[in-house]
Amino acid sequence: MDGKQKAVWITGASSGIGKALSYEFAKSGFNVLGTARRIELLEEIKSELKEFSNNFHPFQLDVTGYNSIEKFYNEISKLYQVDCLINNAGMTSFKNAVDNSIDEIQKIVETNLLGSIYTIKTVLPDMIEQCGGTIINILSVVTQKIFTASSAYSASKSGLQAYTKVLREEVRDKNIHIINVSPGATVTPIWSDGVLNKYSDRMMKPENIARLILKLYSEKDNFVTEEVVIRPIKGDL
């Protein structure tokens, strides 16, 4: 990793929590590799951030394709050492199990669960070799509590939690910090306009989630904050 600049790779950086994370980390001086499918939104973030910093680097990447993730990682790791991966890309459908099509279920699991496992698989060998790194997974309060109309989503988030809990034990002696963050309702475009109009006052702001995640990443001692649940003070919707 000699001579390479450290970077934070944020998936799903084009919108919502990922966009807030991009601002928070880039404004704090970190090199941010922001990936998502909508490159035009990432380019907008880059130009909005120009007045503060020049360290947001946008890349088009769909997390459901392992080969393109591996290709992306091989390219960027010629220049950067990914010190932190934030698995944030995610989607849901808000439908009961009986109404979810197979296509919808596949997309949810491929994006939220497999996509995150693919990115982890690409960064892990280097993190093990350099004996350090941080992997932050944006889960959800569905890992804590039952919400109807969220079966595939809950399976994907709880699946990623199970995967990363096992991984955490496997790499304990490698100084790799694995932090699972489970937020409750947050104002982002993942919600319908109807929900946002009705509840946005009591929902959390993505900027506050991003600020907390930066703090968690910045703790560099012989401990790790393993699992974090963040809820609106008034509780779940």
List interacting residues with ligand NAP (CB under 6 A). Answer: 11-12, 14-18, 36-38, 41, 62-64, 88-91, 111, 138, 140, 183, 185-186, 188-190
Q: Minimum CB separation from ligand NAP for residue 41, in Å?
A: 6
| Residue 191, burial from CB neighbour count under 10 angstroms (0-12, 13-18, 19+) | buried
> Least CB distance from residue 185 to ligand NAP, whole Å?
5
**Nearest distance in Å: CB 131, ligand NAP:** 28
CB neighbours (10 Å) of residue 97?
Answer: 12
Nearer to ligand NAP, 111 or 122 (CB): 111
Dihedral, CA of residue 179, residue 64, residue 34 and residue 94, to nearest 10: -70
The answer to whether 153 is a known catalytic residue is yes
Shortest Cβ 206–ligand NAP spacing (Å): 6
Whole-angstrom distance, CA of residue 34 vs CA of residue 19: 9
Query: What pairing do the DSSP bridges indicate for beta strands 56-60 and 176-183?
Result: unpaired
**55 or 111, CB closer to ligand NAP?**
111
146 touches 96 (CB < 8 A): no
- Kindly name the residue from 73, 80, 153, 217 that is annotated as catalytic: 153
Going through the chain in order, the beta strands assigned E by DSSP cover 5-11, 31-36, 56-60, 80-87, 133-138, 176-183, 227-230
Nearer Cβ to ligand NAP, position 180 or 186? 186
Q: What is the DSSP letter of 204?
A: B
Q: Which is nearer to ligand NAP, 22 or 134 (CB)?
A: 22
* Token pair 């880039």: residue: 26
* Residues designated as active site: 153
